Every structure is written in C-alpha cells, then in structure tokens.
Amino acid sequence: MDDGAEKPRQRARGRSDGPTAVEVTERLRHQIQEGLWSPGEWLREARLCAEFDVGRSIVRRALGNLADDGLVILEANRGASVTVTTLQEVFDLYELRASLYGVAARFTCIRASPVLLEEILQKSDRLIAASEAGASADELIHQSEVNFSLMAGAASIDAQKMIAAVRRKTRWHWSYVGLAESPYPQGVFDHWRVMRAGLAARDPAMAADGARDILYFMQNEVSRLMLTRGLGMQASMQAAPTRRRGP
C-alpha cells in the first residue's frame, strides 16, 4: 500500500447526529422531576448547549416545550427558570386526564374500525402479560401510552389535542416512580383488564370506567409518593426566581 495515499476523510458531524429538541425536552423533564434542578434555578442556554452538545436553536425549542408544559417560566432577556409543581396541580391534571381517557375509551367502542380495535386489544394483552412477567415501570408506562395514543385516534381532532396537552403535563417522572413504588402495582392492571373487556364487548360504559380508574389509580399513587417525600406542598411560585446554576 502506498503510504502517501490519501486517507479517507472523517465524516463531518451532521445536524442529525445530536439529540433533537424533543429528546432534550424529555431529558430536561426528567432532570427537573428528579430534583436535579430545583425550583427557581435558571436553565442557562450556554450550559445546556454544552451539556447536550447541541445548538441554541435546539435548546430554545426544548425550553419552549417545557414552558408549554408549565415546568419552566420563560422571561425576556433572562432565560428560563424552573417552576414549582404543586400537589394540587398534579392531582387536578390526573383528574382531567382520567376524564379525557374515559372519553377516548368510549369513542373507541363506538367508532374504532375492527382492525384498529383488534390492534388495541392485542397491545392491551401484551401490556398485561408484561406486567405479570415483571417488566419495568418505564416499559409498562410506555406500552400504556402507546395504547392510549391509538385509542385517542378515535376521538375528534379537538379532543385529541386536549388529550395530548394534558398527557404532556402528566407524563412526568412521578408516573414511573409511582408505579414502581406502589404497594400493589398490579392494581392498575386490574383496571386495564376491565377496560379491555369493555373494549372487546364494545361496551362504552365499561371501557370508560376502566380507563378512568387506571388514571385514578395513578393519581392516588403519585399523590401518595409526593406526600411521603414532602414534595409539591409549596404554593405556586409567582415571583421571579433568584438562584443561579452554572454560568
């Protein structure tokens, strides 16, 4: 081989190689909910760009997503600061989500095509089987979200938007931890079995009751978790935060 031969150039790093705005949003969401960022702390763009190896446009979109979900406050010429999530807010959001998921289950019974309904039933069976096999809370929550997304597709566009908005606000780390640390984690899957039976029979009332009870179970577990850890008891922050984190 000719030592003087030109060596292949290393491929330049493309924009698609790094995390997307959605991925940065989810990672920050978990950091906030795990307490790595305290209420009132500032999320500095420069620090986040370095931490995630992304440009400012990605960070700004991620912070905008978090602001839409109420996890940070955007202030002109200052940046984003972490908000306080109160127990009352969490409780109320789960209450609203339970109502909307009941609507989704009801509409699935009424409107879903045989093909869509069969897919939902099969995914429900896989979820229940995974719970019995000891799958992780993360995996179980993920599978349940996939199934509810299919069910939401049977609702109107406006209803789908409302479900998506409320889901973003309650798709928090507490959902995973609440299920993982529940004294009786199989309890939520008892409600999944009820909903599944209602869907199979195209019984809107039974399916809606099962769907609502799934969210009520999670509401209770997440509220219990926050209470035992002394979290979410503060009043919502209105004043501008003063703490700093990093440069």
Cα–Cα distance, 195 to 209 (Å, whole number): 7
pLDDT tens profile 157-210: 888 888 887 776 665 556 766 777 787 878 899 999 999 999 999 999 999 999
Largest CA distance in the chain: 77
Taking the model in full, what pTM does it have?
A: 0.72
pLDDT tens profile 94-127: 898 899 999 999 999 999 999 999 999 999 999 9
pLDDT for residue 172: 54
Tell me how crowded residue 201 is: count the other CB atoms within 10 A of its CB: 11
Average pLDDT over residues 46-65: 93
92 or 235, greater pLDDT:
92
pLDDT for residue 26: 84
Task: Check whether 52 has a pLDDT greater than 80.
Answer: yes
pLDDT for residue 173: 54
pLDDT for residue 69: 76
Percent of the chain with pLDDT strictly greater than 70: 83
Percent of the chain with pLDDT strictly greater than 90: 45
DSSP 17: G
The token pair that represents 247 in the structure block: 């440069």
Average pLDDT of the chain to the nearest whole number: 82
Residue entry with tokens 């030109």 = 6
Cα–Cα distance, 165 to 41 (Å, whole number): 25
Average pLDDT over residues 230-236: 57
